[in-house]
Structure 1
Amino acid sequence: MNGEEEEEDDFFSASAQGSLSDPVVLQEYARLSSKYSDAGYREGITDGKLSTLQQGFDAGFALSVTPSRRLGQIRGHANALLTYLTSLNSMDPRIEQVREIVRDAARARRDDILPVDMEREAHERDEHPDEQFELDQTAQRDMEGLEGELEALGGKDQLGKREQELLDELESRLRQIERELKA
């Protein structure tokens, strides 16, 4: 009967299975806690990145949209003026001046009209000193430099003109021709 009493004791005693002291429950709790903690951490990182990306996009957009739109307007204005002049008189000497403005506006590159992002460049160099910097010399940048040098040989040197200065100069040339037409 001694063996039967042990079985009855096990049957009537509180089972450890499913209780807080059960090793399986403790292990499952640790696993779930870690899983949700990791998921929360990842979501926090993702939300932080998205917030930072949005702020960066907003700042970059604010800096680049005005000069880019302005260049687009200059290009459109110059082409419209060229069309107008050629429709009136194909011998008008101003046609060549407007063609030159159209060419100069077409040559303007993003780097010519947008401000340099010094903070981004410094960050890239600090964070990745051993890697090629995005704006370091590449085959494409070498080709753009060669194109610029060839243009300079042809007397069309716009190298060194930056941002507002380049756009102001193109607009000024267009306004001068328009004033001549009105006179």
Structure 2
Amino acid sequence: MDDEDFWSSDPKVLQDSEWSKISNEFTNAGYREGITAGKESALQQGFDDGFAHTGAPLGRELGILRGLCSALIALLSRPNPTDTAQAALAETREIAAQLANVRFSDIVPPDLEALAHAREHLDAKMSEAEADSDGEDLADPASLNEELKGKRDLEGLEDLMAQMTAGGGSAATQSRPKAADIVQLKGRLLAIAEASGLKLQWS
């Protein structure tokens, strides 16, 4: 029996074959769409949680501190200042320079799960790159990880912004403040504000 006789003899076989093919295609398409929807849902939920519990509160507090510095500098920069006002102005400018040098990555609590996940991907890429090595610099993980490149670009922008703010140019030579340093800077700023007669309501 040749192929033509097989297909022409029983149309049900052809229908079943086509049905199986279409069914498999729809199953595969549904699976792919389900995976994509699941990834998008997980990403959105992760973003929402990170933004609500970490990004927005830290950004808000840092913005308030920077704004308070600007207000105090304006208040303390009046003509004929006292020695106390001059000292407070100098300290406020120093605090402003330190705050301008803060990077979000320096004050955010580390996401251990994300770090472990990134490490797994980096290790896998390093293994692939070693197997396919064509003379690239494998010691530089940034050459293998687009996310690291993006972070470095963002940090470069943050450095430019720091240089544009009052006193920011000298801050580039100092080490960047960490989360504990921000708490101390906040305390110093609040003390200066209180000594200057400002009544602050911190929420």
Aligned counterpart, 2:55: 64
Percentage of identical aligned residues: 32
Aligned counterpart, 2:121: 127
User: Is the contact between residue 98 and residue 171 of structure 2 (CA under 8 Å) also seen in structure 1?
Assistant: no
Aligned counterpart, 2:37: 47
- Write out the 4+ residue segments of structure 1 that deviate beyond 4 Å after TM superposition: 88-91, 133-136, 138-141
Aligned counterpart, 1:105: 99
Deviation at 1:51, TM superposition (A): 1.6
CA distance in 2, matches of 1:83, 1:151: 20
- Aligned residue for 1:22, secondary structure, equals helix
TM-score (ref. length: structure 2): 0.63
Aligned counterpart, 2:25: 35
CA distance in 1, matches of 2:33, 2:153: 38
Aligned counterpart, 1:170: 185
Aligned counterpart, 1:22: 12
User: Is the contact between residue 101 and residue 171 of structure 2 (CA under 8 Å) also seen in structure 1?
Assistant: no
Let me know the Cα RMSD of the aligned residues: 3.4
User: Is the contact between residue 113 and residue 166 of structure 1 (CA under 8 Å) also seen in structure 2?
Assistant: no
Q: Which has the larger radius of gyration?
A: 1
Q: How many aligned positions are there? A: 156
Unaligned runs of 5+ in 2: 1-6, 127-140, 160-169, 199-203
User: Is the contact between residue 75 and residue 105 of structure 1 (CA under 8 Å) also seen in structure 2?
Assistant: yes
TM-score (ref. length: structure 1): 0.69
